[in-house]
């Protein structure tokens, strides 16, 4: 795969772009969104005017936490939140698929990482526009070298991680208009030197019952635009009890559980407006039960 093919998106975003909805859709404590936004704005405003030796800022933020908590969606919605605070009112968003960089061929991973992060991405942003670069599931390219002896080709793992660190150092000094947002489900798999380069590491936790209620309610209210009876369910006091039962689910699964509830009975499939609080509660209990089941070991091949 060519490095160009690892770039999933490259576009200019303003404060009025549709991406605003991405940010709003994720239900997390307000302080988390504010910290992510503020760290990004600070980096994009301060780093171009001050030398790296003074700020020690790499222009890197790591979002970590369980799968399904909205890390990637927050990263995608971030540029629209930042745009109104930077000169020009536009932010370029570049999204990278790191998985395509890793190769079984000797030395290829290091070469691709260096080319992508050290040359190709800075080239896309060569006009100086403030740019947010999203590295989703970054553990695939910044593997903890202390555990690399367990890998099939530890030498290449070391080299690829070294290439990531070198590119981050280069961009920190030569391209201060770049800001990287990395997401990870497994920070224990990330190299310590990578984490030390993060200007901020922000935990995106599983939602608390209040947030779960908001997610369930907003999903039902959206459906109520077509099936009005669901609006009554969304506004009922039963939602508090159902949200408490949902504790332990991630945000993505919580949205899906509404549709799992609809799928339990044919009459709610044909007419979603007939969904009851008992239907929704049963689906939530099933989902929580599945989440709490011990993981089945995978067969070794």
pLDDT digit string (tens) for 182-219? Answer: 999 987 878 889 999 999 999 999 999 999 999 999 99
The residues with which 181 forms a beta bridge, in sequence order, are 61, 134
Q: Strand, coil or helix: what is 133?
A: strand
Considering the domain architecture, whether residues 39 and 144 belong to the same structural domain is answered as: yes
pLDDT band at 65 (very low <50, low <70, confident <90, very high): very high
**pLDDT tens digit sequence for 138-196:** 988 877 666 654 445 556 667 888 899 999 999 999 999 999 999 999 878 788 899 99
Where is the domain boundary, 144, 179, 203? 203
CATH of residue 119's domain is 3.40.50.300
- For residues 118 and 225, membership in a common domain is answered with no
Same domain for 134 and 53, yes or no, is: yes
Q: What range defines the domain where residue 97 resides? A: 3-203
- CA proximity to 135, closest of 121, 123, 148: 121
- Does residue 86 belong to any structural domain of this protein? yes
Please tell me the pTM assigned to this model: 0.88
Instruction: Looking at the structure, tell me whether residues 145 and 168 fall in a common domain.
Output: yes
Calculate ∠ Cα 53-58-60, nearest 5°. Answer: 165
Q: What letter does residue 25 receive in the DSSP assignment?
A: H
Yes or no: say if 279 and 236 are a contact pair by the CB < 8 Å rule.
no
pLDDT of residue 146: 66
User: What local confidence, expressed as pLDDT, does residue 148 receive?
Assistant: 53
- Specify if 298 maps to a domain: no
């Amino acid at each position: 795969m060519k490095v160009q093919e690892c770039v999933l998106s490259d576009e200019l975003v303003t404060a009025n772009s549709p991406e605003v909805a991405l940010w709003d859709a994720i239900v997390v404590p307000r302080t988390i969104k504010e910290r992510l936004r503020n760290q990004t704005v600070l980096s994009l405003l301060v780093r171009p005017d001050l030398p790296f030796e003074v700020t020690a800022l790499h222009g890197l933020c790591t979002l970590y936490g369980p799968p399904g908590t909205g890390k990637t969606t927050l990263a995608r919605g971030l540029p629209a939140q930042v745009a109104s605070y930077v000169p020009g009112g536009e932010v370029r968003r570049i999204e990278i698929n790191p998985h395509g960089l890793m190769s079984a061929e000797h030395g290829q991973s290091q070469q691709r990482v260096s080319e992508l992060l050290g040359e190709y991405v800075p080239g896309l942003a060569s006009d100086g526009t403030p740019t947010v670069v999203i590295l989703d599931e970054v553990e695939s390219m910044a593997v903890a070298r202390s555990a690399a002896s367990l890998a099939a080709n530890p030498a290449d793992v070391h080299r690829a991680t070294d290439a990531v660190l070198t590119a981050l150092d280069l961009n920190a000094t030569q391209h201060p208009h770049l800001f990287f947002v990395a997401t990870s489900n497994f920070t224990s798999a990330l190299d310590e030197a990578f984490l030390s380069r993060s200007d901020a590491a922000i935990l995106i936790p599983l939602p608390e019952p209040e947030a779960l209620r908001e997610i369930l309610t907003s999903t039902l209210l959206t459906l109520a635009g077509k099936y009005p009876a669901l609006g009554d369910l969304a506004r009922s006091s039963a939602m508090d009890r159902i949200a408490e039962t949902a504790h332990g689910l991630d945000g993505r699964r919580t949205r899906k559980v509404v549709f799992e509830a609809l799928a339990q009975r044919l009459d709610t499939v044909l007419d979603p407006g007939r969904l009851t609080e008992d239907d929704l509660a049963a689906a939530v209990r099933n989902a929580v039960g599945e989440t709490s089941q011990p993981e089945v070991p995978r067969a070794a091949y």
